[in-house]
Amino acid sequence: MKKIVKKHPLAIRWFHWINFPVLGVMIWSGLLIYWANDVYKVGFGDKTLVKFFPQSFYDIFHIPFRLAEGMAYHFVFMWLFFFNGILYVLYTIFSGEWRYLLPNKRSWREAWLVLLHDLHIRKTKPPQDKYNAAQRIAYSAIIIMGIGSILTGLGIYKPIQLGWLIAIFGGYKMTRIIHFALTIGYVLFFLIHIIQVIFAGWNNFRAMVTGFEVVKIKEEPLPLEPSPMPIAVEVSATPISVETSDAEDGRKQNDEDSVEVPESQ
């Protein structure tokens, strides 16, 4: 027996999928800008561990000599990134979705268990709400990173008119470094995100597109007491009934999968 469980509201799915290409354009145009003065590297003493970026990287992505183009795209798409981000945050606050998103007291300890579980060190599954503890921390961090990108970006854009902003981040140079580092952060987030989505499987991925997850439940009456997962109480808002010429009772016995989904309201 299957049950349809609402997971992601339509608005959040849109914010998510709009952010994907917009952030892509921001990172790409940011690279075109960064190339013009590519001084960042990670190392100690005279030893360079990572240089941002090797020539081969620039060549593959056709980065060189496109500063003007990069700036133009960056200062156009910044508006989309900003408004999409602002609307997402406002929606999360006013819809109450923040309850599933923000880390709580248990999250810090549980995130550790999630990590151990995902690395196959620990067998027991950590509690999985709509988001598990590690997801709560990661998705909240990404919002803070987004705010950081917008503020540092604004500071770099208008370092004199918004001199106070530059001062908060420790000067012009430091503001640029933070802005760059946050971008590296997005790329790392993206890589882990993709891997986790692949491991989590189709049902989880589909939920980000359709909004619902399909949960298999035993052929028993649905629990009357509230589910421990608050999000799971609410099943499909549209009452779904089966249209069949058979008698209701007969159908229920014959067809295991096509079972009437009870209404929550």
Partner 1 sequence: MIMANFVSNLFRSNKKLTVDEFIVKKTIVSFFFLFVFFGACIWSWKWIRHQPVDPGIRGGVQRPLRNVLNTNEAIFSKILSNHHLAKTYPASEVVKNVRPNGNIGMGNDFDPANWKMYVIKKSGDTLTLTLDDLKKLPKTDIIFNFKCIEGWNQVTRWAGVRFSDFIKAYGLNEEASMKYLGLMTPDEAYYVGIDMASALHPQTILCYELNGQPLPIKEGFPLRLIIPVKYGIKHLKRIGTMYFANNRPPDYWAERGYDYYSGL
What is residue 19's three-state secondary structure? helix
Contact between residue 136 and residue 107 where contact means Cβ atoms under 8 Å apart: yes
Per CB under 8 A, the segment of 50-58, 136-144, 172-180, 216-224 that binds partner 1 is 172-180
DSSP per-residue codes, 229-254: SHHHH-B-SS-B----SS-HHHHHHH
What is residue 157's three-state secondary structure? helix
Total of chain residues touching partner 1, rule CB under 8 A: 48
Question: Judged by CB, which is closer to partner 1: 140, or 236?
Answer: 236
DSSP per-residue codes, 105-145: TTHHHHHHHHHHHHTTS--SPPPBSSSBHHHHHHHHHHHHH
Per CB under 8 A, the segment of 41-49, 63-71, 86-94, 103-111 that binds partner 1 is 63-71
Burial class (CB in 10 A: 0-12, 13-18, 19+), 149: buried
The separation between CA 33 and the C-alpha centre of its own chain, rounded to angstroms, equals 26
4 binds partner 1 (CB under 8 A): yes
Q: Quick count: other Cβ atoms within 10 Å of Cβ 238?
A: 8
Among 47, 199, 224, 238, binds partner 1 (CB under 8 A): 238
Picking from 71, 38, 74, the residue whose alpha carbon sits closest to that of residue 55 is 38
Shortest Å distance, C-beta 177 to partner 1: 11
86-125 mask for partner 1 (x: CB under 8 A)?
----------------------------------------
219 binds partner 1 (CB under 8 A): no
For residue 241, what are its two tokens?
């009934």
242 binds partner 1 (CB under 8 A): yes
Question: Judged by CB, which is closer to partner 1: 136, or 176?
Answer: 176
123-162 mask for partner 1 (x: CB under 8 A)?
----------------------------------xxxxxx
Question: Judged by CB, which is closer to partner 1: 73, or 131?
Answer: 73
Question: Judged by CB, which is closer to partner 1: 35, or 107?
Answer: 35
Angle between helices 10-35 and 67-95 (to 10 degrees): 150
What is residue 2's three-state secondary structure? strand
Per CB under 8 A, the segment of 51-59, 119-127, 144-152, 204-212 that binds partner 1 is 204-212
Interacting residue ranges for partner 1, rule: CB under 8 A: 2-4, 17-18, 21, 33-34, 36-37, 39, 67-69, 71-73, 75-76, 79, 157-163, 172-173, 176, 206, 209-212, 214, 236, 238-243, 255, 257-259, 261
